Structure 1
């Protein structure tokens, strides 16, 4: 399971000209899922994201988590995070899980994230053509792969 986490001052998701999610200060989480992902990946990744100290404290040091700043989150499914670009110029998405595997894991990720944050998490819509708008605060962008933990 791979996530691109962006600290934002605001973000929104629009589908068919209708805004379906909107937050102010918090995190935009782009989530890619592969067939090998499990509940363990979800639990590890949601805890890591919720507790990642990337928000500034009173001294301007990135020392506070999303939980500590009571920030909001939007989770957007994005199979393109698992693109393979080694051969040719057209990315291959063969590693990305098909919807029958990915949708239940995506929904479980959202549920676990809500439990970890003790608040509702906004989302895009799995498989939809979404327009994601954000102001990256910092900019701060972190990539986390549950299969490549260092």
Structure 2
């Protein structure tokens, strides 16, 4: 059985697909619809609609406040590559790395097999490395793989 976060995520994604790639919601209205607390909506948006996953989130607080979610479309592979390199920076967490790899798969840039190989190379295998170095090593590996995908 799916949990409420999965249901809210699927609802928002279906609205995004039906529309023009963006949705504007009021947190309290969505919380009422799913009979949950507004912080549950915040959790879903902050964890499931991230830049790494291909979304841009804007919010305006207050009485007429809203949350706007837009799907970031890939127009140009070169720009996308540079955007990914910038997002990775000098270090990247395991979760953010997985999000980028999953987005590459969703966009059809890599195959499911390549996705699993990339996750294996950036996942638990580097857990033996001391924590301060781990995120930097993961970033180096991911940048090298992306360069191989986009440049060669």
1 or 2, which has the higher helix percentage?
2
1 or 2, which has the higher strand percentage?
1
Q: Which has the larger radius of gyration?
A: 2
More relative contact order, 1 or 2 (CA 8 Å, 6+ apart): 1
TM-score (norm 2): 0.28
